Amino acid sequence: MATFSAKAQTKVISGTVTDVADGSPLSGVTVADNAKSSSTSTNAQGKYTLSIPANAKTITFSYIGYQPKTLPVTNANTINVVMSSSSNTLQDVVVVSVGYGTIDKREVSSAITHISSKDLLPVAANNPLMSLQGKVAGLNITNTAMADPNSSPSIQLRGVSSRSAGLGPLYVINGVPGGNIDNINQNDIESIDVLKGGAASAIYGTRGSNGVIIITTKKGSSQSQMFYDGYASFDYITNALKNLTTDEFIANRVANKQGQDYKGRTDWLDAVTNSPAFAQKHTVQFSGGSAKTNYFASGDYRDADGIDLRAHKTEYGARLSINHATDNNMFVATLTAAPRFMRSNNSDQGNFNNALTLNPTYPIFNNAGKYNYINTGFFSNNPVENANVLKSEAEIKELDINGSLKMNILSNLSTTVTISEISRSAKNLYFQPSTLSSVVQANKITQTNFASQEQQENDQKNIEWTSNYSAAVGKNHVKLLGGYSYSLYNYKRFYAQNYDLPFDTYLWNNLGSGLYNGGAAGQGQSAVASTQNGSTLISFFGRVNYDFDNKYILTASLRREGSSKFGANNKWGNFPAVSAAWRISDEEFFKKSVPWISDLKLRADYGITGNQDFGNYLSLLLYGGAGYFPYNGQYYQVYGPSSNVNPDLSWEKSENFNVGVDFSLFNNRLSGSLDYYIRTNKDLLGSYTVPVPPNTQSTTFTNVGTMKNYGLELALTGEIVKATDFSYSANLTFAYNRNKFISFSNEIYKGGTFQDVAGLPAPGSPGNIQRIQEGHSIGEFYTLRSAGVNDAGALLVYKADGSIVQANLASNDDKQFVGNGLPKFTGSLGNNFRYKRFDLGIFIRGTFGFKIFNTSAFYIGTPSSQSDANVLKSAYDSSSKYSLLKSNATTSIASDYFLENGSFLKIDNVSLGYRQPLTTKYLKSVRVYAAGRNLHTFTKFTGGDPEWVQVNGLTPGVNTSLNYYPSTLQLIFGLQATF
């Protein structure tokens, strides 16, 4: 009877909870009756079973990030529920990494951009940050050799910031500064936070001047899960430079006695190209555990070919993260280990320009079937032979390992000790065989073959101790951070080489068998080399976060840091920062007057950061070899001073000011931020001429010079259409940046008012084509100003007095500022569509307002180019202005005639996916997807893809050689499965 009575008073309800977007099951949804007398959670398949009182009237389903749903209890025993994500995204807690901790996005008072893993682009790339390209306003990520699997991108935040120190940001991976960015699998990334404001990055002191990129990888949870992601990619050359075919070469070059006909028919570009270049990548992730102990483990494998014949890369990586808390949560321990091994064949980026300039009537092989020896033309070698015969390989091992122990002393007081090591070991291997056509042709007896090995090791050890305290008194909220950091850096290098090994089959594995370096020829001193150097960085830092009623926010920090790199008088420096924010939208007067503004926050920040990314021991008096001294019939190595001591050598200093506004409109359907910044870089590092004596050397490395960057950044996110079956959202970024170089000199060191840079190589003597000058911007082209072409096909230019002469009659005094290679604007537009279980992403980005020097047109784009070399089709295309330059008298004279508009707009990434939820015990869901990268470029630039030309650094807008690596259109086909 008791059993019967209990059954009569309860009711069992079961069902499945799914996502309205794609029908996938939702795990972890809380299900409870209206009296909250009974509750449960959905399992991995989204299923639940709940026993409720007989008098229960409703059941509520709640899940973070989703709109809660309440349904009435009926006679039915099965209730299936479909949940949709919350439209009020600001109510969801967005955790932002700010350095040594995280805070709610609503509390941020500096310029920080947060990118979640779902916002990253699908790209088959060597570096995970390529998936961030164009996503962050002011962060310029470029890769001039994207299809080379061994390439690395150039990354620059808010413009160029230094002359002689590093220009890249500091990477912080899982809280550890200085991590290996190559040792990150994109699939393992949980979020990326870019600290752009000086107040945010000042907590990293001498390493924060170029911004900070914080990468947080995925962690374990109590939910047990397995995930697989695999793709295959194909790269096809696009926007290629086109040279003359064999027939066109004979008709235009041979017929005009500018080339010879060797009776062959060779498409050299096709012969050195591997198209399509195939790559594959596979990732498996496991996570699980309990609320107290959980883990995340992943393994990945990637095998990729380059678009050239030689480039290849194979890599294996893994990541293990374990978290454990004691029962009373007093202690929390974490351990992360990430090993990676890479084996690569290095590309020869000169092979494409070799192929571009070779006479197409030259055959690849001679009559004996051997590689043809080529000694005429622009570069005079056989690029197919180089790609197949010369060996250049590398073996790289990386290991990031860190462990931390956190002690929760009180509910609002904790202290954490973190120990980490970041290591990288690279072995570089090179071999040139005795069968090389140039060796055979020269009938060499010595130096017939050559082999070398180089070992480089980088190691960084860190220990950091931080403490956190928080308190709330009424509407006052305070968070305190204090910490200590110690970092020890060490670098080692060993190099060995030899010639004349008895067998080519030895490659680099038996250097001792060679006879040239250590043998009778007496060249032993160049056979080996080794070095070791290191530095130490010690820091004390603190930060206070205060807010009143979540409306008035104030943050202040100070880092005191010392480095062994600095001079004896400047070992330590202070890096203060302060930021404030006012959430106007929480004011009563504002809520009533402008209800269509959901959130509005004004903020401003100021911070001082440093840059110590330069070589070790540059402040010291170093000794080096100074020749040989005879004594008693024997010669002895003499050592003497090789550098000047500089006890005042210090870090480069950046003063950063940022003012911004964060906003959300129309019930959070449109949100974004607007920032204006000024960054002044002082005490720029460089080498300056000093008198001898009293100095022992004619130059001293010191801090002199000032440069300024300022700009405007806009980021917008809009939920344009939001329906049950269809949604469309868009993300817009815009950045404007200008640069001004203020001074080369100070009271002690006097430099010139300008420095000529971007020197062009032979043939001829083109000289430098850019000038860094006080009062001007980085990237200013400084050349002769063209005045057209005369009837003889010679270039005409303006002299300084305004008169027009033939270019060979002008001098360097006639050069003028003629344009700038530094882009003014960058922008992107991301479009995300969803229809039921289909998702479509279209990403467009562009760079505008700058000039590019067309190096290929300058050297091989005119009829007067070097004899017996192939040229571009533009040389004999009547619609091209370069076809007019027929006179040899003005060849190799640089002018703005070769400057072109570099602006471009790219359909950069298009991805289409379909997700199918499953209810089997083996699979939860499967998603198939396809993506295309670099699908089309809109540009007026005639020299191929404008992204071949670097716009970061001190010489933007110019390639100072003909070396290039072709751009590619990339197709990706992938599969994702959740188990």
Mean pLDDT by 10 residues, the chain (979 residues): 46 86 77 75 80 83 78 87 63 76 88 92 90 94 92 93 90 92 93 92 94 92 88 95 94 92 93 95 93 92 96 96 90 96 92 92 93 86 94 96 95 94 96 92 87 96 96 92 96 92 88 69 66 96 94 96 94 96 91 88 96 92 84 85 92 95 92 96 91 89 93 95 92 96 87 91 91 95 96 96 95 96 96 95 97 96 92 94 95 95 96 90 90 96 94 94 92 94
Residue 4 has a pLDDT of 39
Q: How far apart are CA 136 and CA 114, in angstroms?
A: 9
Q: How far apart are CA 86 and CA 64, in angstroms?
A: 9
Residue 90 has a pLDDT of 36
Joined together, the tokens standing for residue 387 give 């790609």
Q: What phi, psi does 585 have (nearest 5°)?
A: -65, -15
Amino acid symbol at 215: I
Q: How far apart are CA 422 and CA 175, in angstroms?
A: 13
| Cis preceding-peptide flag for 433 (omega within 30 of 0) | no
* Exposed / middle / buried, residue 699 (Cβ in 10 Å: 0-12, 13-18, 19+): middle
Q: Residue 92: helix, strand or coil by DSSP?
A: coil
> Which residue in the block uniquely carries the two structure tokens 């469309």?
728
Counted residue by residue, the chain has a size of: 979
Q: How far apart are CA 118 and CA 910, in angstroms?
A: 15
- Pairing outcome for strands 816-820 and 825-835: unpaired
Joined together, the tokens standing for residue 917 give 């939820």
Q: How far apart are CA 947 and CA 852, in angstroms?
A: 10
User: In angstroms, how far is CA 802 from the centroid of its own chain?
Assistant: 45
Residues 248 and 256: beta-carbon distance below 8 Å: no
> CA–CA distance from 686 to each of 17, 163, 164, 610, 642 (Å)?
64, 7, 6, 16, 17
DSSP string covering 744-765 = S--SS----SEEEEEEE-SSS-
Residue 241 has a pLDDT of 93
Residues 611 and 165: beta-carbon distance below 8 Å: yes
Identify the CA nearest to 538 among candidates 565, 569, 557, 556. 565
How far separated are the first and last CA of the chain, in Å rounded?
A: 45
Residue 36 has a pLDDT of 63
Amino acid symbol at 285: Q
Q: How far apart are CA 529 and CA 455, in angstroms?
A: 10
Residue 92 has a pLDDT of 52
Q: How far apart are CA 113 and CA 348, in angstroms?
A: 37
Sheet with strand 58-62: strands edge to edge: 39-41, 30-33, 58-62, 69-72
Joined together, the tokens standing for residue 396 give 């790289």
Q: How far apart are CA 153 and CA 882, in angstroms?
A: 32
- Pairing outcome for strands 780-783 and 785-789: unpaired
Q: What phi, psi does 569 have (nearest 5°)?
A: -90, -5
Residues 796 and 806: beta-carbon distance below 8 Å: yes
Neighbouring CB atoms inside 10 A of 21's CB total 19
CB proximity list for 444: less than 8 A, separation 6 or greater: none
Q: Can you give the pTM of this predicted structure?
A: 0.89
Residue 523 has a pLDDT of 47
User: In angstroms, how far is CA 585 from the centroid of its own chain?
Assistant: 36
* Exposed / middle / buried, residue 693 (Cβ in 10 Å: 0-12, 13-18, 19+): exposed
Residues 202 and 209: beta-carbon distance below 8 Å: no
Q: How far apart are CA 671 and CA 215, in angstroms?
A: 24
**DSSP one-letter code for 354:** H
> Which residue in the block uniquely carries the two structure tokens 């110590």?
612
Joined together, the tokens standing for residue 776 give 């001007």
Joined together, the tokens standing for residue 319 give 């990541």
User: In angstroms, how far is CA 328 from the centroid of its own chain?
Assistant: 42
Residue 376 has a pLDDT of 82
3-state secondary structure 712-727: EEEEEEEEEEECCCEE
The string over 945-978, giving b where at least 16 C-beta atoms fall within 10 Å of a residue's C-beta and e elsewhere, is: bbbbbbbbebbbbbbbebbbbbbbbbbbebebbb
Joined together, the tokens standing for residue 298 give 């992943």
Identify the CA nearest to 276 among candidates 234, 233, 232, 305. 234
Q: How far apart are CA 381 and CA 353, in angstroms?
A: 11
Q: How far apart are CA 653 and CA 679, in angstroms?
A: 10
Residues 716, 659, 827, 928: what is their CA dihedral angle, to the nearest 10 degrees?
A: -50
Q: Residue 825: helix, strand or coil by DSSP?
A: strand
Neighbouring CB atoms inside 10 A of 881's CB total 18
Q: What phi, psi does 254 have (nearest 5°)?
A: -65, -45
Joined together, the tokens standing for residue 193 give 């936070």
Residues 881 and 905: beta-carbon distance below 8 Å: no
Residue 510 has a pLDDT of 86
Run of H or E including 975: strand 968-978
Residue 525 has a pLDDT of 59
